Amino acid sequence: MPNKLRKISRQLHLWITLSVFIPVVIVIGSGLLLQVKKEVDWVQPPTQKVTANTSTAIISAEQILQSVTAAPQAQLSQWEDIDRLDIRPNKGVIKVRGNNHWEVQLNAYTGEVLQTAYRRADTIESIHDGSWFFEGAKLYLFLPAAILLLIIWLTGMVMLVTTLKSKYRKRQARLQQNT
């Protein structure tokens, strides 16, 4: 029985591995980049720090838009161009993320542009979860690949356990023959 189980596990392991190879390589590669996004400025621009001035109010929405339009590289000229605002009062920074993946960091109290940089982390995240490729890739390609990866892991464990059991039995049989 262990030999038959090991053979079935080996065949399943091989064919499933071949079928999920590309999605798994994409997930692993993009996952590695996401693991180091805070350390690698190319992936995600570092958050600038400003001495927090608690006696001064954070700039208004109107001032935010005015400051962002002053950063021509980002090409953000109206609210429709902006995806989100990330306000960090403890760091004195407002991150303005554009729909075009450009990020403008502002001094939250003066509106001064601290940094303008292209933000790749969001694109890498969408590649990682599969949504970057096409509408249904996340649910119909990457999710099944993840389930199959779990099966690969399980069949690998079956092969490991049955191999170790077999080696243990052979070793025990050799020891009994020698005594």
Domains of the chain as residue ranges with CATH: 1-42+122-167 (no CATH), 45-119 (3.10.450)
Per the CB < 8 A criterion, the answer to whether 61 and 111 are in contact is no
- Give the up-direction half-sphere exposure of residue 50: CA atoms within 13 A in the CB hemisphere: 23
Show pLDDT as tens, one digit a residue, over the chain (179 residues). 667 877 887 888 888 888 889 999 999 999 999 999 999 999 999 888 887 666 678 899 999 999 999 999 999 999 999 999 999 888 889 999 999 999 999 999 999 999 999 999 999 999 999 999 999 999 999 999 999 999 999 988 988 998 899 889 889 988 888 87
**Separation of alpha carbons 19 and 146, rounded Å:** 11
Q: Which pTM does this prediction carry?
A: 0.71
Range 135-139 contact pairs with CB under 8 angstroms and sequence separation of 24 or more: none
Torsion of CA 164, 167, 172, 175, to 10 degrees: -140
DSSP string, 59-104: PPHHHHHHHHHT-GGG---SGGGEEEEEEETTTTEEEEEETTSEEE
